[in-house]
Amino acid sequence: MEDKEKVEAAAKGEKLSLTYEQVSQTLTRRGHKVKLLAAGTNVQNLAAQLEKEESDIIFNLCEALGGVSQHEQKVAALLELLGKKFTGSGSIGLALAQDKALSKKLLSFHGIQYPKFSVMDAGQVDWSDDLKFPLFVKPLNQDASIGINNKSIVRNVKELMEQISYIHTECKAPALIEEFIEGREIYVGVIGNERPEALPIIEWDFSKISEGIPKIASAEAKWDEESEAYKAPEVFPEDIPEPVYKKIQGAAINAFKALKLCDYGRVDMRLVKKSELQTENETQVEEKAGGDEAKKAGAGKGKTKTSPEKEDKKSTPRRRTPDKENPEDEGMEDWEFYIIEVNPNPHLDKRGELAVAARRHGLSYPDLLEKIIELALERSR
């Protein structure tokens, strides 16, 4: 997806400013008086500064405190205790969304589909569905794809145990183990409070990256500008039927509300077109069957048999059967989507998915920031 500002900056040999600078500069140009306040590790000093702060509203961009993302919710709680008006979700919404296992249980209560999962912490299983390989392993409570790498998709017990160990030792976090959804990476921004609305769907299109590179939003894909996955384009998908499109947006809104988020958020999903997955699986089955016949005929000597990795791809994720009599299920026969996680504090960079989708929706970046402030002030009255 072309970003004019990014292209112009690159042509000048410049980089766009950091998010807080973009927000500050944009709001200043809109006539707001802006003061920057860093969320430092000295909590007593931070509390003292916030207590004296008399601004009409605090634009909360804090995603961690002292490098600990779990403290994000505590900063919001501090603002609540001090009676300050601020943008974005409160401490409860941040806590619910950050605990990915708890959030999935809440989504289940509301009938929202997600991959089967398990949680392992310090060698103990806190929760487990009946899982099938391939699996996807990541930290339970980290953001920004921390702990997600090219080994996150595991296809056997050995790989599973190695990745769990990595999450425990390197990320110092419980491991979330999910059934891996072979599908497309899509994002749905949501803005609003009492009547939230979904923004246009964005897809991170990994379809053309080299075979062997995981088609996932890994830390490398997000932050390594030299990686092939990083260069994969973000697009507005045009092949999703309108009833399916609306159902995806509706699920994003329901998840936003279920986790008690405020003002804005982003819902990350995996979208599966069943016919494409079935065709791929049938091709693999035919290849294996052909190999078996050749082996029986004595013609397979010296040939490489189908690898375990290819066999694992034949396992398909669990699916809810669409109700043909339910108008809401119209067009869903060939589509399935799963909520992977809900981000209550998505990146507000001009190039981020939320801002790009908002522009498509008719909200410029300055208008988006103004809208977030307006929503925060309305619910604080």
Which CATH number characterizes residue 123's domain? Answer: 3.30.1490
Q: Distance between CA 189 and CA 267 in Å, rounded?
A: 6
Q: Based on the fold, state whether residues 76 and 130 are members of the same structural domain.
A: no
Residues 22 and 349 sit within 8 Å (Cβ to Cβ): yes
Q: Distance between CA 2 and CA 356 in Å, rounded?
A: 10
334 sits in the region (left: phi over 0; alpha: psi -120 to 50; else beta) called alpha
Domain final residue pick, 27, 60, 95: 95
* Two tokens, residue 221: 């894909």
- Higher model confidence: residue 79 or residue 307? 79
pTM of the model: 0.83
| Average pLDDT estimate for 214-232 | 91
Domain final residue pick, 66, 95, 124: 95
343 domain-assigned: no
What's the structural domain count of the chain? 3
Decide if pLDDT at 297 tops 50: no
Q: Could you tell me whether strands 264-273 and 202-204 are parallel, antiparallel, or unpaired per DSSP bridges?
A: unpaired
Domain final residue pick, 152, 180, 208: 180
Residues 338 and 317 sit within 8 Å (Cβ to Cβ): yes
Whether the upstream peptide bond of residue 134 has omega within 30° of 0, thus cis, is yes
Confidence of residue 381 (pLDDT cuts 50, 70, 90): confident
87 domain-assigned: yes
Q: Based on the fold, state whether residues 176 and 127 are members of the same structural domain.
A: yes
Q: Based on the fold, state whether residues 129 and 86 are members of the same structural domain.
A: no
Buried b (16+ CB within 10 A) or exposed e, 99-121: bbbbbbebbeeeebbbbbbbbbb
Q: Based on the fold, state whether residues 139 and 79 are members of the same structural domain.
A: no
Q: Based on the fold, state whether residues 88 and 138 are members of the same structural domain.
A: no
* Closest C-alpha to 295, from 305, 309, 285: 305
Return mean pLDDT, the chain: 85
Q: How far is CA 10 from CA 4, 137, 200, in A?
A: 10, 35, 27
42 domain-assigned: yes
CA atoms within 13 A on the CB side of 154: 22
Residue 169 belongs to what domain range? 116-180
Q: Based on the fold, state whether residues 91 and 167 are members of the same structural domain.
A: no
Q: How far is CA 105 from CA 249, 250, 264, 379, in A?
A: 20, 19, 22, 27
Per residue in 322-342, pLDDT (tens digit) is 555 555 566 688 999 999 999
Q: Based on the fold, state whether residues 77 and 130 are members of the same structural domain.
A: no
Q: Based on the fold, state whether residues 86 and 44 are members of the same structural domain.
A: yes
Confidence of residue 134 (pLDDT cuts 50, 70, 90): very high
Per residue in 21-74, pLDDT (tens digit) is 999 999 999 999 999 999 888 999 999 999 999 999 999 999 988 888 888 999
283 domain-assigned: yes
248 domain-assigned: no
342 domain-assigned: no
Q: Based on the fold, state whether residues 88 and 139 are members of the same structural domain.
A: no
Q: Which amino acid is at 262?
A: C
272 domain-assigned: no
What pLDDT sits at residue 327? 55
* Two tokens, residue 71: 């403290």
136 domain-assigned: yes
